[in-house]
Amino acid sequence: MMKRYRLIVLFFTLSTLHHQKLKREERSAWPPPGKLVEVFGDRMHIYAKGSGNPPLLFSCGNGMFSYGNFYPIFTPLSDNNRIILYDRCGYGWSESTRRPRSVKQLNLDLHELLKQSGEQGPFVLVGHSLGATELLQFAQRYPELTAGLVMLDGGSPQFYRDSKGVFLRSIPAYAVTAFLRSTGILRMLLRLRPADPDIPSEVDQVSTMMIANRASSLNSLEQVRSLAHIEPLQQDLGDIPMLVMTAQRTGNLGEAFRDSQQQLLQLSTQSRQVVLKEVNHFFPMIYPDLVVEEIRRFLDEDMVSR
C-alpha cells in the first residue's frame, strides 16, 4: 500500500514539474496576437482585426478563451466590420489580478481597456454566457458606447441572484478541474480531443494550450461566485437594438435560465429573441455559422432600423 502511494505521489510530482516546464516554453512560443495594455495595474490583452462600422466587441463565457472560441465567428465578420476581442484578467494572455471580480469591476476594467487601447465606439457588444451578462450591464452603464447588444445564451442578473445553488454545485467541478490543470493531467486529457477541422491547427493548438494552463483559474471562480450577488441595474437600454439568442436545451442550468432570457427583451424597445431548437449552451462553438448568420441579419436589419 505504501509503495503504491509513493508511486502516485511520484507520478503527480513529475507530471506537475513537466507541466510547469511546458508552460514556460509555451509562454515564449505563443506570444499574444494583440497588445497588452495596463489597466489598474494589471496588463490585459486586447486584439483587433478588420475595419468598418459598427465595431463588434466580443466577450467569452466563464473559463473560456475569446480568440479560440470566437475564431470561426469573428473571422468572416471581420470582412466588413472591425472586430475586437479581449481577455478578462486571469484569462488568455491577460494577467491574473487580486482586484474584485464582480461584474461591476469587469465593466470598469473593460471601459478602461478600451480607453487606453484607443478603440473607438459605439460598439455592438457580443457576449456568450457570463460574457453576455457582463456586456449587458456594460451597455446599461455605458449606453453611449453601445450601438447594439447580442446575447448568446446569457442569463439575466436576477436569475443569478435567485440561483445561488447553481454556483454551489459548480465549486467541486472547478476544484477538480483546477487540480487536473495544476498537475498537468488536464493537458494529457486534452491530447485525446479530436482537432476541429474548421479551425486552423495553430488556433486549435493555442486554444488547447490556454485550457491546459488557465482553466478554472481563481479569477474565473471568483467571477462565478460574485454572480450570486450581482445587482440588477434599473436603467433600460432605450432604443438600443438587442438580439437574444437562446438555446432550447438548458442542461444543468434549468428552464429558469432559458425563461430569464425572455425577461431581457423588456430592456429595449428594439429587441427580439431567437430560440434555437435542439442545441445546448455551447452552440456558438458548435454552430458558429448559425451565429454569424444571425449577427449579419442583426447588423443589416435591426441596426439599420434605428
As a whole number, mean pLDDT of residues 64-81 equals 93
Report the DSSP pairing between strands 35-39 and 42-49: antiparallel
- How many CA atoms, within 13 angstroms, populate the side-chain half-sphere of residue 46? 23
Which residues, in sequence order, are CB contacts of 93 under 8 Å at separation 6+? 32, 34, 36, 45, 87
Which residues, in sequence order, are CB contacts of 21 under 8 Å at separation 6+? none
What is the helix (H) or strand (E) element at residue 138, kind and residue range? helix 130-141
175-218 pLDDT tens trace: 888 888 999 899 899 888 887 777 888 888 888 888 888 888 88
Q: How far apart are CA 45 and CA 88, in angstroms?
A: 8
As a whole number, mean pLDDT of residues 271-284 equals 92
What does the pLDDT read at residue 255?
Answer: 79
Planar angle of CA 181, 187, 193, nearest 5 degrees: 125
Q: What is the 8-class DSSP label of residue 238?
A: B
- Whether residue 167 has pLDDT greater than 70: no
Q: How far apart are CA 110 and CA 135, in angstroms?
A: 9
Under the banding of pLDDT at 50, 70 and 90, the label for residue 104 is: very high
Q: How far apart are CA 299 and CA 243, in angstroms?
A: 10
Residue 140, exposed/middle/buried by CB under 10 A (0-12, 13-18, 19+)? buried
Sheet bearing 146-152, strands edge to edge:
35-39, 42-49, 83-86, 56-59, 123-128, 146-152, 242-247, 271-276
Q: How far apart are CA 306 and CA 304, in angstroms?
A: 5
As a whole number, mean pLDDT of residues 221-246 equals 90
Q: How many CB atoms lie within 10 A of CB 52?
A: 14
32-44 pLDDT tens trace: 999 999 999 999 9
As given in the structure block, the three cell numbers for residue 285 are 462553438
State which fold the 31-302 domain adopts.
Rossmann fold (3.40.50)
What does the pLDDT read at residue 266?
Answer: 92
Q: Contact 205/107 with Cβ under 8 angstroms?
A: no
3-class DSSP state of 144 = helix
Among 216-220, 243-247, 252-256, the range scoring the smallest mean pLDDT is 252-256
Percent of the chain beyond pLDDT 70? 95
Q: How far apart are CA 285 and CA 272, in angstroms?
A: 22
As given in the structure block, the three cell numbers for residue 216 are 478554472
In degrees and rounded to multiples of 5, residue 298 shows phi and psi of -60, -45
Percent of the chain beyond pLDDT 90? 54
Name the residue among 94, 90, 87 with its Cα closest to residue 67: 87
Q: What is the 8-class DSSP label of residue 241?
A: -
What does the pLDDT read at residue 36?
Answer: 97
Q: How far apart are CA 125 and CA 148, in angstroms?
A: 6
